[in-house]
Amino acid sequence: MSQQKISLPAKLINGGIAGIVGVTCVFPIDLAKTRLQNQRQGQQVYKSMMDCLVKTVRSEGYFGMYRDMGRPWGAAVNLTLVTPEKAIKLAANDFFRHHLAKDGKGLTVFREMLAGCGAGMCQVVVTTPMEMLKIQLQDAGRLATQQQKPGMMSPTKLAAANTMLSRSFNSGPVVPAPQAVSATQIARDLLHTQGIQGLYKGLGATLMRDVPFSIVYFPLFANLNRLGKPSPEESAPFYWAFLSGCVAGSAAAVAVNPCDVVKTRLQSLNKGSSEEAYSGVMDCVSKIMQKEGPSAFLKGAGCRALVIAPLFGIAQVMYFAGVAEYILDNSPLSLLSV
């Protein structure tokens, strides 16, 4: 993270702005990543990221990349939750870095990793329910496309299908369109049937992904960004901060992609024909290894790198530009800045 001193409100605002702008830019790629990761061997609906995006546009329209099963702007759920998620992640890292620094001296790599670990653990409070809802909405189109393929729906599976999202399947030649669901409906049904723990399904896998990601990302960014500083007292140019965020983000994303695959599978409530159900992290890892091989853990890695790179590049540019500081200095909120 940047070493400039800013107030906690500014950190939170910068993180929120970064999340909103970043998610708006990369949501279609994130949708492709989720659908690719949820595909099982022998049931591939999409061949690649581009194939997924093209088929999504053809079957659901351009805004289908931003919506959930018929409701416009399904990305809104992600935008709503990613704002506090990014704010917590970035502000927490700054907080831990500040308290781990000794007499204003630079942090060792180990202490930078500790700060990143703390940030990753803090963010899962928001990340887990956000990912839980987002995955259901993003994966709905894949299941809808799969059910329309002849021979891909099993009557046994249909009888046991989760009725939470009330999808209508038909093994005959004419397949009715799946019923539209919203994030609010999914959250309400989860709370009603499983309680608050329903929204935190896959918490362990989310921790396995987000903590290592932050441990890799924040120290890597800090050291890459340091290389672009004209002098120790000056900040790196904004383009260098952006590139450092992109490189560190993509590297960390690929490194933890196996954990992201496991998390996505565990949090996917509705399964397609002949798709496995998992009882936990180890069960999921074991079944993926046995039935799909090690390469399955790299599914969506390219998409994930393309999603994360600009997200965190934008986050660093927001810090460099001082958007939050400008807002606070030119509004009554300036009283909050200390």
Convert the pLDDT of each residue in 231-271 to its tens digit: 888 888 889 989 999 999 999 999 999 998 888 888 776 66
For residue 149, give the amino acid letter.
K
Tokens of 185: 């409906």
For residue 176, give the amino acid letter.
P
CA–CA separation, 244 and 246 (whole Å): 5
| Distances 200 to 19, 126, 195, 235 between C-alpha atoms, Å | 21, 9, 10, 39
CA–CA separation, 245 and 276 (whole Å): 36
Convert the pLDDT of each residue in 109-165 to its tens digit: 999 999 999 999 998 888 888 878 777 776 665 666 666 555 444 444 434 434 443
CA–CA separation, 147 and 208 (whole Å): 32
224: region left, alpha or beta (phi > 0 left; psi from -120 to 50 alpha)? alpha
What's the confidence (pLDDT) of residue 147?
A: 60
Q: Are 200 and 266 in contact (CB under 8 A)?
A: no
CA–CA separation, 269 and 198 (whole Å): 10
